[in-house]
Amino acid sequence: MSAFAGRYPTRYQAITIHNIRKQPEWQRLDPELREAVEVVSRVLPFRTNVYVVRELIDWDKVPDDPMFQLTFPQPGMLDPEDFRAMRDLIRSGATREEITAKANEIRFKLNPHPAGQMTHNVPYMDGKRLWGLQHKYRETVLFFPAQGQTCHAYCTYCFRWAQFVGIEELKFESNEVDMLVEYLKRHPYVTDILFTGGDPMIMRARALRRYIEPLLSPELEHVQTIRIGTKALSYWPQRFVTDDDADEVLRLYEDVVKAGRHLAIMAHFSHPRELSTDIVREAIRRVRNTGAEIRMQAPLVRHVNDKPEVWAAMWKEGVRLGLIPYYMFVERDTGPKNYFEVPLAEAVDIFHKAFMQVSGLARTVRGPSMSAWPGKVRVLDVAEINGEKVFVLDFLQGRNPEWNGRIFFAQYDPEATWLNHLKPAFGKEKFFFEEEPYYQWWEHEYQDPLAQRVPVAEAELVMAVA
Ligand X SMILES: *Cc1c(COP(=O)(O)O)cnc(C)c1O
Which parts of this chain interact with ligand SF4 (CB under 6 A)? 151, 154-155, 158, 160, 197-199, 231, 268
Q: Is 334 in the site for ligand X (CB under 6 A)?
A: no
Question: Residue 250 pairs with which residues in a beta bridge?
Answer: none
Residue 136 binds ligand X, judged by CB under 6 A? yes
One-letter amino acid of 297? Q
Verify binding: residue 365, ligand X, rule CB under 6 A.
Answer: no
Q: Among ligand SF4, ligand X, none, what does residue 335 contact (CB within 5–8 Å per kind)?
A: none
From the number of C-beta atoms within 10 Å of its C-beta (0-12, 13-18, 19+), residue 169 rates as: exposed
Q: Which is nearer to ligand SF4, 9 or 197 (CB)?
A: 197
Identity of the residue, 274 or 317, whose beta carbon is nearer to ligand SF4 in the bound complex: 274
Instruction: Please choose, out of 41-49, 59-67, 129-137, 169-177, the segment that lies near ligand X by the rule CB under 6 A.
Output: 129-137
Beta strands in 86-125 (DSSP E): 124-125
Q: How far apart, in Å, are the Cα atoms of 184 and each of 67, 138, 213?
A: 39, 12, 14
Q: Segment contacting ligand X (CB under 6 A): 75-83, 100-108, 134-142, 280-288? A: 134-142
Query: Residue 461 belongs to what H/E stretch?
Result: helix 456-465
CB nearer ligand X, residue 136 or residue 271: 136
Among positions 47, 273, 376, 378, the unique one binding ligand X when judged by CB under 6 A = 376
Of these partners, ligand SF4, ligand X, none, which one is at the site of residue 158 (CB under 5 to 8 Å by kind)?
ligand SF4
DSSP labels for 351-419?
HHHHHTTS-GGGTT-EEEEEEETTEEEEEEEEEEETTEEEEEEEEEEESSGGGTT-EEEEE--TT--SG
Comparing every residue's Cβ against ligand SF4, the nearest one is: 158
Residues 6+ apart with CB under 8 A from 156: 44, 46, 69, 70, 71, 72, 73, 74, 77, 336, 340
Contact by Cβ (8 Å): 59, 76 = no
Q: Out of ligand SF4, ligand X, none, which partner does residue 134 contact, by CB within 5 to 8 A per kind?
A: ligand X
Q: Which does 155 bind (CB under 5 to 8 A by kind): ligand SF4, ligand X, none?
A: ligand SF4
> Between 142 and 390, whose beta carbon lies closer to ligand X?
142
Q: Does residue 231 interact with ligand X by CB under 6 A?
A: no
- The reply on whether position 117 binds ligand X by CB under 6 A is no
Task: Give the closest residue to 259 by CA, choosing from 303, 231, 220.
Answer: 220
Binding site partner of 74, from ligand SF4, ligand X, none, Cβ cut-off 5-8 A by kind: none
DSSP H/E element including 419: none
Per-residue contact string for residues 380-409; x = within reach of ligand X by CB under 6 A: ----------------xx------------
Cβ 310 to ligand X shortest distance, Å = 22
Cα separation of 156 and 178, whole Å? 34
| Residue 142 found at the interface with ligand X (CB under 6 A) | yes
Taking the C-alpha atoms of residue 113 and residue 435, their distance in angstroms, rounded to an integer, is 25
Q: Taking CB under 6 A as the rule, does residue 297 contact ligand X?
A: no
Query: Residue 388: how many CB atoms within 10 A of its CB?
Result: 13
Out of ligand X, ligand SF4, none, what residue 198 binds, judged by CB under 5 to 8 A for its kind, is ligand SF4
Check if the beta carbon of residue 232 is closer than 8 Å to that of residue 287: no
Footprint on this chain of ligand X (rule: CB under 6 A): 134, 136-137, 140, 142, 194, 371, 376, 396-397
